Amino acid sequence: MPNITSKEKRDRLLFIIKVLRQHEVLRNFLKQKDPKEVRLALEKLGPTFIKAGQLLSTRPDLISPAFIKEFRKLQDNVQIDPFTTVQKTLEAEYNCPLTDIFLQFDERPFASGSIGRHTMLYFTITLQSSSKSNTPMFPNSLKRIFLYSKKLYGS
């Protein structure tokens, strides 16, 4: 994972402050007014903030019904990252082009959430005979997720 510089941290903090001010998040949230503005700010700020809104949408003891209704939109109505962003992130993480890792991938997500976009990716593995297999193969961390998902949702 790439190192984040002090300048990048500072820029992110300034961006967060700017968005919070633009949407008057603190005033709106404390007075429980204009929930749409608060939701728009959370969306603009990204996955961590969207996740906070999703959690709050389940807490009628903490926020008004108007905020719950608006924050529920964060459950399944979140903007999808373009494939170029996903590709850039994966290539930076693996330090090579996607075509070196994946046999095929669908640029259209089959699902999306606050923390990620779910795209069908088939790993390429090189066998000792140097032939490539098109059987979906997963590194250990993904294999655990895959097996758990399969158990929950069936094959």
**In a shared domain, residues 93 and 141:** yes
**In a shared domain, residues 57 and 103:** no
Given a cut of 50, is residue 95 above it in pLDDT?
Answer: yes
**Range from 39-53, 56-70, 71-85, 127-141 carrying the lowest mean pLDDT:** 127-141
Listed ranges 33-37, 78-82, 107-111, 121-125; the one with the highest mean pLDDT: 33-37
C-alpha angle 18-77-75 in degrees, rounded to nearest 5: 90
Q: Which of 76, 95, 129 is the last residue of a domain?
A: 76
pLDDT at 151: 55
**In a shared domain, residues 71 and 103:** no
**In a shared domain, residues 69 and 91:** no
pTM of the shown model: 0.59
Task: Flag whether 148 is in a domain.
Answer: yes
**In a shared domain, residues 93 and 71:** no
Would you give the DSSP letter of residue 114? S
CA distances from 133 to 7, 55, 128, 129 (A): 44, 42, 11, 11
Task: Flag whether 53 is in a domain.
Answer: yes
**In a shared domain, residues 64 and 93:** no
> Which residues constitute the domain of residue 67?
6-76
Domain count, the chain: 2
Task: Flag whether 1 is in a domain.
Answer: no
Task: Flag whether 63 is in a domain.
Answer: yes
**In a shared domain, residues 11 and 38:** yes
Residue 123: its H or E element: strand 121-123
Mean pLDDT of 79-99: 78
